Amino acid sequence: MSDLASLVISYFKGVDDQDIDILLGTLDARCVFAVETHGVKLHGHDEIRGMFDRLWAHHAAVRHDRFHFVDAGNGSDIAVRFRVTNTLHDGSLVYKSNCNFFTAGNGKFTEVRVYMAGENTLDRNG
C-alpha cells in the first residue's frame, strides 16, 4: 500500500472511531475541505472539526469500507471510491457510494474534495 493510501486509511479510521486527533493529524492546519456535490467549502482545522462534530452528533456511528484507490503516482494525489454506512440514532442504516480526492504535501492532506451520493451529511452549519 502506498504512503498516500495509508494516510487515507488513517483519515477514515479517525472518522469512523470519532477520533478528532487522528483525523486532524492527517490534515494540514490550512487544509481546504470541500463537499463538491453540495457546495460546502471549509478552511482549516477549526471549521473541519466543527463539521465532524456535527456529523458524529447526528449519527450513532459512521463506517467507511470497500476502498478502491487510484493513485496518480506523483506522490501527492490519490482518489478513492468507497462505501459509507451511516447508522442513525434509531438504528436504521443508510448506505452511500462516495468518492474523495486527496492532495498531500509534507505528509499531510492539503485538500480533500468529497463527491457524495444522497443527502449531505457533511454540511457547514448542521
Separation between Cα atoms, residue 46 and residue 74, nearest integer Å: 29
| pLDDT grade for 117, boundaries at 50, 70 and 90 | confident
Separation between Cα atoms, residue 94 and residue 85, nearest integer Å: 6
Measured in Å, how far apart are the chain's first and last C-alpha atoms?
A: 35
For 72-102, how does the pLDDT look when each residue is reduced to its tens digit (9 = 90+)? 999 999 999 999 999 999 999 999 999 999 9
Q: Could you tell me if residue 120 is inside a domain? A: no
- The pTM (predicted TM-score) of the whole model is 0.92
Q: Could you tell me if residue 29 is inside a domain? A: yes
What's the CATH code of the domain at 104? 3.10.450.50
**Side-chain-facing half-sphere of 29: CA atoms under 13 Å:** 0
How many domains does the chain contain in total? Answer: 1
Q: Could you tell me if residue 124 is inside a domain? A: no
Q: Could you tell me if residue 35 is inside a domain? A: yes
Q: Could you tell me if residue 111 is inside a domain? A: yes
Is the separation of the CB atoms in 94 and 105 below 8 Å?
no
Separation between Cα atoms, residue 60 and residue 88, nearest integer Å: 5
Q: Could you tell me if residue 123 is inside a domain? A: no
Structural domain that includes position 102: 3-115
Q: Could you tell me if residue 57 is inside a domain? A: yes
